[in-house]
């Protein structure tokens, strides 16, 4: 359900930018919530990689941030997928990988 939610958001040009366990609602169905720092329209002019032309802000939760963000690169749909992978790692291992 989380992957489907990200696919839907990315299809609408939205990057969530803070996928983590506390932003997942588990009332019957899994739902992604807290869009307070989401970037609407971030994927306009998507070149296939989903990168925004340049990053204008730095936000999110460090443990779930993709390495490219920590290097100063732009937000993209790939950063949401990275965070989802970290979230799954935490569910399976009981801790974030880093």
| Distance (Å, whole) CA 75 – CA 92 | 26
Domains in the chain, please, with CATH?
2-93 (1.10.510.10)
Tell me, yes or no, if the pTM score tops 0.85: no
Does 80 participate in catalysis according to the annotation? no
11-69, pLDDT tens digit by residue? 999 999 899 998 898 776 778 887 877 777 755 444 445 544 345 667 889 999 999 99
Q: How far apart, in Å, are the Cα atoms of 61 and each of 11, 12, 25, 80?
A: 23, 23, 17, 12
Q: Which tokens sit at 41?
A: 């329209």
CB atoms closer than 10 angstroms to residue 43: 22
Active site residue: 18, 25, 34, 46, which one?
Answer: 18
């Amino acid at each position: 359900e989380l992957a489907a939610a990200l696919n839907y958001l990315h299809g609408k040009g939205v990057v969530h930018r803070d996928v983590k366990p506390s932003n997942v609602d588990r009332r019957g169905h899994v739902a992604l919530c807290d869009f307070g720092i989401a970037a609407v329209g971030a994927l306009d002019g998507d070149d296939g990689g989903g990168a925004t032309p340049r990053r204008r802000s730095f936000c999110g939760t460090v443990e779930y941030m993709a390495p490219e963000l920590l290097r100063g690169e732009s937000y993209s749909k790939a950063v949401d997928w990275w965070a989802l992978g970290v979230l799954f790692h935490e569910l399976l291992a009981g801790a974030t990988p880093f």
